Structure 1
Amino acid sequence: MSLNIQELFNVKGRVAVVTGGSSGIGLMISRGLVSNGAKVYLVALPSDPINETVSELNDLGRESGGSAQGYPCDVSSKEAIAELSREISKKETALDMLISNAGIRRDPPLACNVLTASLEELQSSMWSIQTKDFDDTFRINTTAHYFLSVAFLPLLAAAAERPTSTGVKGRDEGRGVMVVTSSCASMHNSTNVDMTSYASSKAATDHLVKLLAAKYNRFYVRVVGINPGFVPSNMNPIGAKGNIFSSLFEKVPAKRAGNSEDIAGTVLYLVSKAGAYVDGVSVCVDGGRILLANGQE
């Protein structure tokens, strides 16, 4: 047994699938994995800059031995997810980690400040969101995690069961794990913006983590979640003029937005030997914002 940090958090040579990996939190995770020697199958929409991102990641992995390959896939489609798993299965007999990260946010097109709007303004704003916006949000933010987990279950179970060079099974080193990206928005209702469809889908995702972990526990395929707070992404352009959350940054106890180190460090813990005994829970990575949202100022 070693408590050396390079062994506890070691992901060198491990295989990962990262959805939504070409930007924002997914790219932070992909960079963290490749920088530490992992092989990443980066999954993103066909319209995303997959080739450019893969090239950047392979440059990043030259020293560590990490690498990346890109796959276009619309995870809102069950059939596309099935095809993705078939393609990965042609190349891999086991999958050490599935990072199910892709997500969207659809706010009402008629925006208002929820905290100050009149009854009429609030009603008009909330009514302006389309049914399709709710459907699309749940399809990608919740349902896709479910089908991805099912499609890749055999590969994840194989990684958990496979003997390692140290004489233990993969699961004892943290292999065979699914990490689901949720949001701290699932944990509170304190905001000046109506994110009802987004926050509801993320709350459903938090429970889905528990449901999937319970279903897969016999194979010790772990399912865990992360709930990021203010972290730069296309969804949350921190520093951009007119950012709807800009007035809240200084209220976070950490007095800053989250960054790549915060996200990558959390994921490296969960997918490595260090986190091998963690299952069925979600980790909030928000600089303490949830405390304020729950009135613990």
Structure 2
Amino acid sequence: MKSIKQKFDLKGKVAIVTGSSKGIGLSIAKGLAENGAKLVISSRKQAAVDMVAEEFKKAGLEAIGLACHIGDAEQRKVLVAKTMEQYGRIDILVNNAAINPFYGPLETSGEEVFDKIMNVNVKAPWLLSNLVQPHMKAQGSGSIINISSVEGIHPGFRLGLYSMTKSALIMLTKNQAKEWGRYGIRSNVVCPGLIKTKFSESLWSDEKLAAGYNQMVPLKRMAEPDEMAGVVMLLASDAGSYMTGGVYAADGGYLISG
């Protein structure tokens, strides 16, 4: 029997984290690497992923940087092929990369924005997971962790299109869990609340909005990016070996407030 410490240990495991050159993705990647995983750092620019991979190596962690625009089919294929070439396996996929190019009422958005946000936030995680699935199936194990949002459960104002994509990601996760569990593949989804990252800066830099949020949530504050790494660690490791199809909020109590 493994001890609980051993169950959290990710030595020998290989993880791909999309959108991991900054923000939540970076802190998740760092947490996985510190726990022993070999990391594939991925985001759109090669210079950005190389810089992160170098930082990891200097800290004694194992990582490579592979640039990938998650909305591009060819680049997704190359990401998976190069990971297999380098490490020979894929144990953990964290679908973290997302965009939110529009902030406003539903009726004022154009179709091209809808297509763009759906392509990156829903279609890309679906297709990237499909590319990784045969490798996880062949080894009889794997953990897919999709990063959604509390916006996918509880609608906020002016984030309608983003909320739709994050809700779809939750249902994608449940279907992956249902269909792929027989192959030893687990799929879970994490729903962060408001986190102080560049991605959400337009929200938390608004003093009035930030004060209202802090007053409303039970923990009375926003999250730091590194507060998302722990729940991912559990879902990625053998410590969470019976967890699949789950929706896990890390939101300071946002969903129970109001």
TM exceeds 0.5?
yes
User: 8 Å contact 2:13–2:36 — kept in the other structure?
Assistant: yes
Indicate the structure with greater helix content: 2
The residue that corresponds to 2:89 in the other structure is: 94
The residue that corresponds to 2:146 in the other structure is: 180
User: 8 Å contact 1:18–1:40 — kept in the other structure?
Assistant: yes
The residue that corresponds to 1:166 in the other structure is: none
Larger-Rg structure: 1
Superimposed CA distance per residue, residues 28-69 of structure 1 (whole angstroms, 9 cap, x where no aligned partner)? 101101122211001100277222222222223x1xxx3111
172, 175, 188: which one pairs with 1:211? 175
User: 8 Å contact 1:106–1:134 — kept in the other structure?
Assistant: no
183, 194, 201: which one pairs with 2:165? 201
> Is 1:275 aligned with 2:237?
no
Shift of 1:87: 1.7
User: 8 Å contact 1:21–1:44 — kept in the other structure?
Assistant: yes
102, 124, 138: which one pairs with 1:144? 124
| Letter aligned with residue 153 of structure 2 | M
CA separation of 1:207 and 1:243: change in aligned 2, threshold 3 A: farther
Superimposed CA distance per residue, residues 220-278 of structure 1 (whole angstroms, 9 cap, x where no aligned partner)? 21111100111122221289643674131232111222234431110110111110110
| Letter aligned with residue 69 of structure 1 | I
Paired residues for 1:97-136 under 5 Å: 97-108=92-103, 111=104, 125-136=105-116
Aligned length: 257
The residue that corresponds to 2:36 in the other structure is: 37
User: 8 Å contact 1:95–1:158 — kept in the other structure?
Assistant: no
Paired residues for 1:11-90 under 5 Å: 11-46=10-45, 49-60=48-59, 62=60, 66-90=61-85
Runs of 4+ residues over 4 Å off in structure 1: none
TM-score (norm 1): 0.80
Shift of 1:126: 4.1
User: 8 Å contact 2:106–2:161 — kept in the other structure?
Assistant: no
Q: Give the secondary structure class of the aligned counterpart of 1:224.
A: strand
User: 8 Å contact 1:44–1:73 — kept in the other structure?
Assistant: yes
| Letter aligned with residue 94 of structure 2 | I
| Letter aligned with residue 128 of structure 2 | L
CA separation of 1:204 and 1:48: change in aligned 2, threshold 3 A: farther
Provide the C-alpha distance between the structure 2 equivalents of 1:187 and 1:215, rounded to a whole number of angstroms: 23
Shift of 1:7: 1.1
TM-score (norm 2): 0.92
Structure 1: gaps (5+ residues) = 112-124, 162-170
| Letter aligned with residue 216 of structure 2 | K
Structure 2: gaps (5+ residues) = none
Shift of 1:14: 1.5
CA separation of 1:94 and 1:244: change in aligned 2, threshold 3 A: farther
> Is 1:289 aligned with 2:254?
yes
The residue that corresponds to 1:165 in the other structure is: none
Superimposed CA distance per residue, residues 188-223 of structure 1 (whole angstroms, 9 cap, x where no aligned partner)? 12x3x3001100000011000011112212212111
Provide the C-alpha distance between the structure 2 equivalents of 1:283 and 1:35, rounded to a whole number of angstroms: 22
Paired residues for 1:181-260 under 5 Å: 181-189=147-155, 191=156, 193-237=157-201, 241-242=205-206, 245-246=209-210, 247-260=212-225
130-139 or 244-253: which moved more? 244-253
Query: What is the root-mean-square deviation of aligned Cα atoms in Å?
Result: 2.0
Provide the C-alpha distance between the structure 1 equivalents of 2:209 and 2:15, rounded to a whole number of angstroms: 32
Provide the C-alpha distance between the structure 2 equivalents of 1:29 and 1:135, rounded to a whole number of angstroms: 28
User: 8 Å contact 2:9–2:35 — kept in the other structure?
Assistant: yes
| Letter aligned with residue 239 of structure 2 | A
Q: Give the secondary structure class of the aligned counterpart of 1:73.
A: coil
Provide the C-alpha distance between the structure 2 equivalents of 1:240 and 1:56, rounded to a whole number of angstroms: 28
User: 8 Å contact 2:196–2:204 — kept in the other structure?
Assistant: no
